[in-house]
Structure formats: C-alpha cells, structure tokens
Amino acid sequence: MLKKTLTINGIAKTLVVDPDTSLGDVLRKQLYLTGTKVYCGDGHCGACNVMVDGKLVISCMMKIADLRDEAEITTVEGIGTPAKLDPVQLALVAVGAPQCGFCMPGFVVSAKALLKRNPDPTREQVRSWFTRHHNACRCNGYKPIVDAVMAAAAVERGERDISELEFTMPADGRIWGTSYPRPTAIAKVTGTLDYGQDLGLRLPAGTLHVAMVQAKVSHARINGIDTAAAEQMPGVAKVVTARDIKGTNAIGGLNDPNNLGSTWDRPILCDTKVFQFGDAIALVCADTAEQARAAAEKVVVDLEELPAYLSAPAAMAEDALEIHPGYPNVYFTQRLLKGEDPKPLLDQAPHVVQGDFYLQRQPHLTIEGDVGFAYFDEEDRLTIHSKSIFLYGHALMIAPGLGVEMDKLRLVQNPAGGTFGYKFSPTLEALVGAATMATGRPCYLEYDYYQSITYTGKRSPFWMNVRLGADADGRLIGMESDFLVDHGPYSEFGDLLTKRGVQFIGAGYDIPNIRGRGRTVATNHAFGSAFRAYGSPQSFLASESLVDDLAEKLGIDPFEFRLKNVYRAGTGVTTPNGQEPEVFPYPEIFDVMRPHYETAKARAAEQSTPEVKKGVGLALGIYGCGLDGVDGAEVHIELTPTGVTVYDNWHDHGQGADIGTLGTAHEALLPLGLAPTQIKLVMNDMAVTPNGGPAGGSRSQVMIGQAIKDGCEKLIDAMRRPDGTFRSYDEMVAEGLDLTYVGKYATTNKDIDTEGQGDPFTIYMYTLFLAEVAVDTRTGKTTVEHFTAVTDIGRINNKLVVDGQMYGGIAQGIGLALSEDFEDLEVHTNLRDCGLPYAKDIPDDIQLFYVQTPRELGPFGAAGVGEAPLTASHVAVVNGIKNATGVRITHLPALPEKVLAGIRQLAAES
C-alpha cells in the first residue's frame, strides 16, 4: 500500500492506495467521484480524462504511484455543478451535444484543458485536440461538441454573453419544434447522472461481483466443467453453471412461425455445446470483482473442438455440420414477388447492371459497455437493472429460461451509455438474474470492454447478388435479388432481419417487377443483434451502388436518374412490398439538395489532382417507423397537485426518450398552460410503467407519442368543465374524478407475407445523402470532407435531438463505409481496432436540411428519426469513391488497401 496526498478539485485529500491502481479507479472507487467514466480501460475513449497539474491525462492509463505527492487533480466535478454550469457545460447543453452522455465529462475536462492552453482555437484545432487525446463520441458526430467549444471560448474571451447560451421560452409557451434542452442534459455534462457502473458502486454490503467464464473457441462440444479449484479461491461464494439454473436455460423466442430454427436456441450458460467465441459457460460470484476474475481463470472446461463456420457460405457447404443438431443451418427463407417475373425483361433490357455485395459485421462500439445488477425487491420479485431497450420483451425472453414466473420478474433500465440497438437482445440480463437466483444475494456484473465486444451481438452481414435494369428512356423496369443473412448461431430476430432485406433492396424507386429471395443462415461467428437501421444499410449498399452504375451506363447524371425514378404521387407507385407510400416527399427533397449537389460537383472538379482525387456520391435511404405489422403502446397520465406525471416505457439509448416524452406531453397538454417543469417523467421500470414496446425501428416517437397524446387528451377531457374551463386538482379530487388515464395506440398494419407483400409500416422516413470525398491515390486512404443530408421525418418534436441523431448516424455511416468491422476475433477486440472514428475522421462540414411533411398517423405530424441517417449514408461515401477514382468497392469496409488495389487494377487495365 501507498500513502498519497493529493489536491482533488482544490481540496487536499490523504489516501492509502494500491500503487498498481489507476488514477481513474481511485477517483471512482475510493473518492466516489463518479463523473470520471472508466470503461474501455485502454485509453481509447477519453471518457476518463482529468487534469493533473493542469495537463490533460487519461486517468485509466495513469498509475496512482506515478503521481507526485500533492499533485493537483481536476475532475468534471471541479469544473461546474448543476447549479452553476461552466460555459463549456452550458454550451454543450445549448447545442444538444449530450445524447447518451457517457463521454461528456471527458469532453468537458478535455475542452477546459484546451482552452486553458489556447483560448482562441480554430475549429480544426479543437478537432485535432480531441483526436489526439482520444476523446471519442459514438452519438453525435463531433460537430455539436466543436460548436460548443467555440461558443464557450467566445464567452470566456468576453466576446459573447453567457446568457446567449441559455434557452429562451417562446412567447406562445410551446416547446414542440424548438431546441429545448433534454431534461438529462445538465446531469450528463456535470457527471452527476448515474450509469450502471455508478449505481453498482452504491449497492448494499453483501453484493456479489460476477465474472464470466467465456469460451475461447467458436464451436465445440462441452465434455465437462470442473469448478472445484475456482470454488476454493478466496472470496468465492458460488460458481454457477447450467445445472444451477432452474428453468429451461434458454433465451429466445419471438420468431416467425415459418422459422425452421430452434425458437429457444441461445443458452443462458452453455451446457452441451459452445456456439460462438465468447459464449458464457459459467459465472463466478465472489466478494470482489478481482476475486471473481481470478477464480474464473481456475474454471476448467473440457472441450472437443468442432469445425467453425465463420461465414454464411461456409455454413451452407454440403459437408457442414448442423450448428444446432436437428435444425438446418439455413433456417428461414423470405421470398419477394411483385409484378411480372423480371428475368425475361432484364434479359432483353437495353441497360442492365449486376453485382455481388457484402456488408460487414459492424460492431456497435458504445463508449459504455454492458453493465447490470440484480436483486430480490420488497415484493420478492427478481429485479434486474441493465441497459435493456425492450424491458417487457426481454422479460418474456428470459423468464422461462431462468424458471421464474412473469409476475415475479421486474426489469428496470439504467441510464444507458449508448446501445444503438444491441440491447434489443438480452445480453447480461439472464446471466446476472441466474447468479442472483443461485446465490440469493444481490449480484453485479460488469463486462470489461473485451467481453462487451466478444459476447454481445453485431450487425449481421449480408451477402447479396442483385440485378437491376432500365428501359431506353431510363425508367427502371425490374430487379432480381438473392441474398444471405449471416446471423450467427442464434436465431432471435433473424427472420425479421431477412424480411427487412426484401423491404429495402430497391426501396425508394418505382420498380414494377421484382423477384427476390433472402435466406437466414446460422454460423459460428458473433450472433446478429439489432443495429440502427436494421437491415437497410445492407440492402442499400447493393441497390444504391447499382443505381449509380446504371446511371453511368445510361450516360445520365446519377442525381437526375434517381429523381426520374423516385416515388411520386399519382403514379400508382408502391414499395417493393406493394404498399403505397404514405407521403411523397422525394421531389421536394431533390429540389432542396440540387444546389448543394451542383456546388459539390464544381468543388470536386476544381480541387481534384492526380495525387488526391475528389468525388461526389449520392444515396437515397428509407426506413419504416415501427415493428413490422401490428404495433402499439400504452402510457399512464396522472394529474398531481403540482402538474402531470407521465409514466411510460420509452427506453433511452441516448437518443432522447426524455425530451421525446416531455415534448410530446407538453404539446398535448397545452390547453392546461403547464410549464415543462410541471411535467414529471417516470420511465422504464416494469413495476410502475406500462408496456410501450421496444426502442427500436424509430417507433417510439410514433407509437408511444400517439399513446401519450391519447392519454393527455383523456385527462384534459375529464378536467374540462361545461363552460370549457378546467377543473383544478383539488376539484377533481372533490368530485371523485379519476386522476390517472390510460393512453393507448395501436396500428392495423399487416406484416409481409411469404411472397413479401404487405403494409408493414404506417409511417416511413425519407433521406437523400450527399458525400464529398477525397481519395489519396498513393495510399488509397479516403477522407470525407463534406456531407449533406436532406430528410423528411414529418414534424420535428425537438430540433436538437433530431440534428444530433442525424449527425451521429451520418458519422456511423462514414465509419461503416471506411473503417468499422468485427471479423478477426484476435484483432477486433477494442474500440480503436474495430475502427471507431474520432473527430478528425468525420467532416466538420455537415449540413442538415429538413422537409417537414406532416404524417397523418404521427403525433402532431411527427415520424421517427433515429434510423434515418444510417440507412444509406455509407453508400454515398462508397459512390463518392467510385466517382473520384472509378473504383467500385463492393465489400465493406473500404479500407485503404482495397481502394488502392482497385486504383492499381484500373491503371493496369487502361
């Protein structure tokens, strides 16, 4: 042990520390300064940045022994408080930078260190600073953070008044359509919002720490598990294996009836087989995390390794074993039949293009990994806290496996440091629940980042072959598609994903004749889980690449070719699934984009050189708001002495569930004249909030928003006196009127049938993307220099949230195009090596424009937004590479070596 005296945020502290402990862990676990966020553990995210003697350091990488005595440490808690925000914090709130918020404290400290050194930085200097100091954000695309730093710097130089950063309530009292800050924003920039790790530090004495024993091979039989040595290790209370689980030991369900796979094919703990690298085999429960991890190393698993099928084609080979014995590796097929058979038409068409495409296994790369804990509550319910974005669904998916009745299972969502969809699937919920049931004690489970990467799901790769044709006038006449979905070893939602393929390949255009087939394949690579824009990035990679190639073949500008063929009112056009679009905004979207496209082309032509070729790429993207087919939600609205309380399960990845709820409720309650602060939000706890469905498919604003509107209208009707004025709370009580009203909403849509026809969504989102890229012909490195998007998502609830979702989704699209991957199980194990983009990898010049066509079935005309920016932003980048160099990248990501190989091949052929 080591005695250290440090000055923490101006206060001298004497500490006794383990010299090998990091500064970040001392701050968090001994001083409970939990504003400093430590998760990645290897200096790749910057969330743990603090200042030491005025210098910015990554606290997870600094040993406490390396600090001088009386060193001065500044954490986010020493910069500002909720009652007195620093200008940097206030500016971040004002521009909407805090989304999930997990990275925000690190950015606050980093920005303060920069401004102390350089009070008048340029935007490029800010971006370089954040990149150099590994400040990573997965949510907002960096531009809002840079905006905030520039604004705060102007305030600190005395060039702006700090009051300019504060929100001003409009004269009409409405916050719908404004930039009203989200309710959690201040807590996020001050580090006072408690995420799972922070809550874990405050669990009661007697809480056990859990460590996973993971598989280190991708496919094997389990011949035995020896826990004897682990059980004798210090502090170990129990080693939990499959034999300790009371239920069926299975996760899953909710699959299509035509799915030939095992409906419950994911074990909670593997008992007979390992299906993928990282599978959970046992859980060690001990007094400390260190003891649990040490004991987990002592568990001996006797494995008989089997052939590992790490891609869909490999798993489809004639000699491939059934990954789940008794069930075929190709377990679901979705066909698409629209109009005439296009084959003879395409065989005779004057203009036809065809290609093979692969979109990779994209990792979610949240800055906060997976954390959760479980205990038995006051009603003896097994209560599980996690980052779940599907509380009621996850309860259904894990209850039989655990052997617990639904009325004795309660799930609660912690504030989430991002999910982007992976928490649509249960990850640690069943594991930590099993540990608590087996030990009878509260249990806490925190994956390190390696475990978060290797255990949780990824975007499922698609292998696609698509043929597209047009007539002599440039009108699309037909399309054929055949694709494979590599969904990993577990079937949950794999059928849904395959259905999305036939919905979105070719979407956006009037294609009268289509035949398609998608097949879902079990493999031994990472299991497929939801990822933002589920199924559409794969689909649009194929169709939007071919649209560009077909335009080139026709000799038509790709902008004009798209405009000629997009959905238009009055033409009888339908989606690939035979559904008439609910609105037709594309002609106006193209009108808005046209001048930016012309400017981009001129800029590329002027600036391109033989060494750095510049190009412009377009792509069109569409996504539906909701679950396929019937969807709906329920909320409760309660009148209180001080205002109204909204109870809902609008789960928050960081996308803005709090302001989504508040903005919608405030608009619905306008007749009552309530201030936003009079509306209380109670969210995401099965004990007190009703089922609103998952936060996926950009459905929440529509489904839960409509339910909020319905409930608020019922309350207002009950409060209305005969003369049109409103009863007070006391009058409602005195008259014996109900104070709580149930808001409900449900759609009557039909999921697509076996031929791919149906009307799966009531509302769609529409976007046109424009990427301007520079390709270094000497290295193959691609840089996106400018990006423009024009989007129609109906009426906008909150401008900050919508902008933030667009910026962040575009950044993820650029990462998908150029760098992100989870293929190599030995290499792709941390944020950096998985290709996470930093500030310098994303353009500072991102322009966003909106066409606001009201949606008849959306609350106050709104649609969703979250999925829209990641539908096809990556294809705009790929098309830009093609425009700049002539190289068509069909297998993502477009790494420099791939682009360079294409450049050299074209040079050799010329």
The per-residue pLDDT for range 278-313, each reduced to its tens digit, is: 999 999 999 999 999 999 999 999 999 999 999 999
Cis check: omega of the bond before 893, within 30 degrees of 0: yes
Give the pLDDT of residue 255: 76
Among candidates 654, 836, 839, which has minimal Cα distance to 40? 836
CB atoms within 10 A of CB 379: 10
pLDDT digits 0-9 by tens, 439-483: 999 999 999 999 999 999 999 999 999 999 999 999 999 999 999
Q: Cα–Cα–Cα angle for 839, 845, 847, nearest 5°?
A: 125
Cβ distance 684 to 835 under 8 Å? Answer: no
pLDDT at 767 over 90: yes
What average pLDDT does range 814-836 have in this prediction? 97
Residue 619 CA to residue 534 CA, distance in Å, equals 17
pLDDT at 416 over 90: yes
With bands split at pLDDT 50, 70 and 90, how would you rate the model's confidence at 248? very high
pLDDT at 275 over 80: yes
Average pLDDT over the chain, rounded to whole? 97
Amino acid at 690: P
Give the pLDDT of residue 94: 98
> Which residues neighbour 775 within 8 Å (Cβ) at sequence distance 6 or greater?
612, 613, 614, 615, 781, 782, 783, 881, 884, 885, 899, 903
What average pLDDT does range 227-241 have in this prediction? 98
Residue 54 CA to residue 72 CA, distance in Å, equals 8
Give the pLDDT of residue 74: 98
Cβ distance 800 to 181 under 8 Å? Answer: yes
- Strand order in 300-305's β-sheet? 273-274, 220-226, 300-305
Give the pLDDT of residue 256: 83
Q: Cα–Cα–Cα angle for 47, 49, 50, nearest 5°?
A: 140
List C-alpha distances in Å: 788 to 611, 795, 809, 810.
Answer: 25, 20, 13, 9
pLDDT at 870 over 90: yes
What average pLDDT does range 643-670 have in this prediction? 98
Give the pLDDT of residue 306: 98
Give the pLDDT of residue 257: 85
pLDDT at 644 over 80: yes
What average pLDDT does range 816-831 have in this prediction? 96
Give the pLDDT of residue 762: 96
Q: Burial of 223 by CB count in 10 Å (0-12 exposed, 13-18 middle, 19+ buried)?
A: exposed
Give the pLDDT of residue 164: 95
Give the pLDDT of residue 910: 85
Give the pLDDT of residue 215: 97
Name the token pair of 368.
């906060």
pLDDT at 254 over 80: no
pLDDT digits 0-9 by tens, 487-540: 999 999 999 999 999 999 999 999 999 999 999 999 999 999 999 999 999 999
pLDDT digits 0-9 by tens, 734-744: 999 999 999 99
pLDDT digits 0-9 by tens, 363-390: 999 999 999 999 999 999 999 999 999 9
pLDDT at 591 over 90: yes
What average pLDDT does range 103-118 have in this prediction? 98
> Which residue numbers are catalytic?
867
Residue-by-residue DSSP string for 473-490: TS-EEEEEEEEEEE-TT-
Among candidates 462, 574, 576, which has minimal Cα distance to 518? 462
Give the pLDDT of residue 267: 98
> 280 pairs with which residues across the strands?
214
Q: Say what the alpha-carbon torsion angle 751, 753, 754, 756 is, to the nearest 10 degrees.
A: -80
Question: Can you say whether residue 191 is alpha, beta or left, with left for phi > 0 and alpha for psi between -120 and 50 degrees?
Answer: left
pLDDT at 253 over 80: no
With bands split at pLDDT 50, 70 and 90, how would you rate the model's confidence at 147? very high
Q: Is pTM, for the whole model, over 0.95?
A: yes
> Which residues neighbour 821 within 8 Å (Cβ) at sequence distance 6 or greater?
360, 361, 362, 363, 828, 834, 835, 893
pLDDT at 624 over 80: yes
What average pLDDT does range 71-87 have in this prediction? 97
pLDDT at 252 over 90: no
Q: Kindly tell me the number of DSSP H helices and DSSP E strands found in the chain.
A: 24, 30
Q: What percent of the chain has pLDDT over 70?
A: 100
Residue entry with tokens 């205002």: 643
Instruction: List the beta strands (DSSP E) in 441-559.
Output: 443-446, 462-470, 476-486, 514-521
